[in-house]
Amino acid sequence: MIKKLVTILALCLLLGTGIAQAGVTLESFKFNTEAEEQHFKDLIEELRCLVCQNQSLADSDAELAHDLRAEVYGMIQEGKTDAEIVEFLVARYGDFVLYNPPIKPSTYLLWFGPFVLLAIAALLLLRSIRRQQKTAANEISTEERARLDALLGSTTSSKDKDQ
Amino acid sequence: MSRYLRYLVPLAIFFILVAFLYRGLSLDPKRVPSPLVGKPMPEFSLPRLKDPAATLSDSDLKGKVSVLNIWATWCVSCRAEHEVLLQLANTGLVNIYGLNYKDERAKAQQWLQQLGDPYVANAFDADGRTGIDWGVYGAPETFIMDKLGMIRHKHIGPLTVEALNSTILPLIAELQATP
């Protein structure tokens, strides 16, 4: 049953990626080398389309994505660096266009928040482990221990008898 | 004390979460804050919509408080906000300029004839290149510039009477008052 479910899920995933790949509509940009083309593709994968917000510039078929791809292509042809191209887009559309947001005061929470939470969780865990160890050591009073010894003694002696 | 803390801390965390989530409810992810607010408006020089021989440039908008509205005839919400633009124009408080974005000239001219023309002048941005410089990602969008040509506000989406009364008119009055 579980195996069947897993295969169905895997098939769905495969189908999904197939559709996503079929959806990529790259205009026929001309590149001199394959490396250049790969460079362009990598760059537009990193940039987010503002119209369909969960798609990259590479994936989106929105009118604006077409225009921005052409813009990025033009800038690459002019020999602009990646940093210059990214700066061009950020100056107009903000950090929102970046799938990889820069580290700055407004994004500290985003970047470091999870680590802070992890540290807090680790501290709490450590504390509760320590407490448990302490209580475990003091769990039994002397009277209880005496009773326990007596009980243990009786069981071991009864065992001895059986053997 | 520590006994109360045990209950108070999770409760506090819960309320912090509630505060964040409540704030999230009223945020619209489609409204991406523009990095252009607080900066000088981008330079442009485009043919005018009605008279292609004449140009409209950023220098035409300087020296007074101005509004730049990005619109197109293919944009449905632009039709919805047109009435509000006409209202704003009728107040006579501010010059409204238009950036006719990726449109057809004949259609746009017809639109203004039929629905009324709130604009002092329109720039005709056929390929949307000027739109990119203004960070336009979906018409309609409306920018408000002060007398020095600094962008002071960006309204994303159709203008409404409420937005006019609560934000835009007070801002215009404030900008008019500063030299």
Q: Which tens digits make up the pLDDT trace of A72-117?
A: 999 999 989 999 999 999 999 998 899 888 888 888 988 999 999 9
β partners of residue A65: none
What integer pLDDT is reported at residue A20 of this predicted model?
46
What integer pLDDT is reported at residue A155 of this predicted model?
61
Closest-CA distance of chain B to residue A18, Å: 28
Q: Cα–Cα distance between B80 and B70 in angstroms, integer?
A: 13
Beta strands in B20-168 (DSSP E): 45-47, 55-57, 66-71, 95-101, 121-125, 141-145, 151-156
Residue A27 neighbours by CB under 8 Å, 6+ apart: A66, A69, A70
Please give the residue that has the higher pLDDT: either B20 or A135: B20
The nearest alpha carbon in chain A to B29 belongs to A53
- For B149, the domain range is 32-177
What CATH number is associated with residue B91? 3.40.30.10
Residue A118 neighbours by CB under 8 Å, 6+ apart: none
Residue range A2-101 forms a domain whose CATH class is mainly alpha
**Interface mutation vs chain B, best among A53, A88, A96, most B CBs within 10 Å:** A96
| Helix count and strand count (H, E) for chain A | 6, 0
Are the beta carbons of A53 and B29 separated by less than 8 Å?
yes
> Is B25 among the domain residues?
no
Closest-CA distance of chain B to residue A90, Å: 8
Tally the domains of chain B.
1
Lowest-pLDDT range of A102-111, B72-81, B132-141: A102-111
**Interface mutation vs chain A, best among B137, B141, B143, B156, most A CBs within 10 Å:** B137
CB contacts, 8 Å: A93 with chain B: 32, 34-35, 135, 137
CA dihedral B65, B166, B111, B46 (to 10 degrees): 30
Average pLDDT over chain A reads 81
> Is B156 among the domain residues?
yes
Q: Cα–Cα distance between A46 and A86 in angstroms, integer?
A: 10
Among candidates B29, B127, B132 on the partner chain, residue whose Cβ is nearest the Cβ of A92: B132
Domain chopping of chain A, boundaries:
2-101, 107-162
This prediction's pTM: 0.75
CB contacts, 8 Å: A106 with chain B: none
Are the beta carbons of B32 and A91 separated by less than 8 Å?
no
Residue A79 neighbours by CB under 8 Å, 6+ apart: none
> Is B20 among the domain residues?
no
